[in-house]
Amino acid sequence: MMKRGYLVCNTAWMRDYQGAKGDKSYSNASYINKHGYGTERFNFKKVGQKLYGYAFNRGERINLARLSRRSNAEYLDNVTIIWTAPRKGYGQVLVGWYKNARVYRSPKAKPRYHLFEAQAKDCTLLDTDKRFLRVPRGKGAMGQSNIWYPSTAKGLTFIKVVRQLMAGKLPPLASRKSSENRSWQRDLEIRLRIERKAIRAVGKHFQEIGYGIKDVQKDNKGWDLEATRNGIVLRLEVKGLALQFQTIELTPNEFSAMKTYATSWRLCVVSNLENAKPKFHIYEYSPEAEQWRSKDGSPLKITTVRSARCAPA
């Protein structure tokens, strides 16, 4: 039997869920598509030491009887909220979770409109590159509603995998990916020392978060590595630096790829490669800010010459 208290909530796709109206979202909901945002945009923005979450549900009521026999309660504690969202061109995926959450039967207005609340320390928003676990759909799985009580066989299987991810364990990749990884690792031996270290470090980083790696440097695509997982493709341009990151150059081909494939292209700079602790700078495009940002939110300064010169702002 599944432990009491798992609720799957579908919301809009956003990068940060920090409340910015400019955090352009992708959703199946007509209101969000029309306005570009909804109450969901606050789902991972702290108020004090808590997060307050919302997912649109027809009638705006949660059936607490599906979670506990305390069907007359106004709220229920110790529920795990599993947040999902539609990834454009891919499907509905896991984006994060609240552990030990309080679930209300009907929405509360303060401190902001919400159905769920939890301590911020118990909540996790996955980095966009880690959002690859598909949500089962159809009979016995999640349907058209944004709220799913996962008590079926498919639901229990999904919850089991989610719990593994919560514990830091990754589902195995298909065997053919392992073959690609071995080929990629053999090819590294012919690279120059600094470039080799940077390529290996970036490849290892994305392997550790669940991706298969393919070296495409010889193909002149405008990026060096492709990180793939269940149909998701990230295009990784790698730059290695012996010392600090002050500036790097992009070729015209790389800069063109950066603009053309903004949502899947990543600039991965590995600095301090001659020191004991190399430093990662991974930049992705932020639609809400309309600029390139590192994973910690630091912007990337881009000076356009014939190609592009990039430096941390």
**How far apart are alpha carbons 56 and 91 in whole angstroms?**
19
**Could you tell me which residue, 204 or 4, shows the higher pLDDT?**
204
Q: What is the DSSP string of 17-76?
A: -SS-TTS--B-S-HHHHHHS--GGGGTT-EETTEEEE----TTS---GGGT-S-TT-SEE
Over range 288-297, report the average pLDDT.
88
* Residue range 116-139, pLDDT digits in tens: 999 999 999 999 999 999 999 989
Whether the pLDDT of residue 19 is over 50: the answer is yes
**How far apart are alpha carbons 97 and 163 in whole angstroms?**
10
Lowest mean pLDDT among 109-123, 173-187, 256-270: 173-187
Partners of 310 in the β-ladder: 248, 302
Question: Going from the N-terminus, what domains does the chain have, and what CATH number goes with each?
Answer: 6-166 (no CATH), 175-312 (3.40.1350)
If phi over 0 gives left and psi between -120 and 50 gives alpha, with beta otherwise, what is residue 173?
beta
Over range 219-240, report the average pLDDT.
95
Over range 200-209, report the average pLDDT.
94
Whether the pLDDT of residue 81 is over 70: the answer is yes
Dihedral of CA atoms 206, 19, 145, 61 in degrees, nearest 10, equals 140
**How far apart are alpha carbons 104 and 130 in whole angstroms?**
29
How far CA 109 is from CA of 74, 80, 112, 210, 258, in Å, comes to 15, 21, 5, 39, 42
Over range 306-312, report the average pLDDT.
78
**Could you tell me which residue, 233 or 288, shows the higher pLDDT?**
233
**How far apart are alpha carbons 230 and 210 in whole angstroms?**
10
What is the pTM (predicted TM-score) of this model?
0.77
pLDDT of residue 31: 46
Whether the pLDDT of residue 169 is over 50: the answer is yes
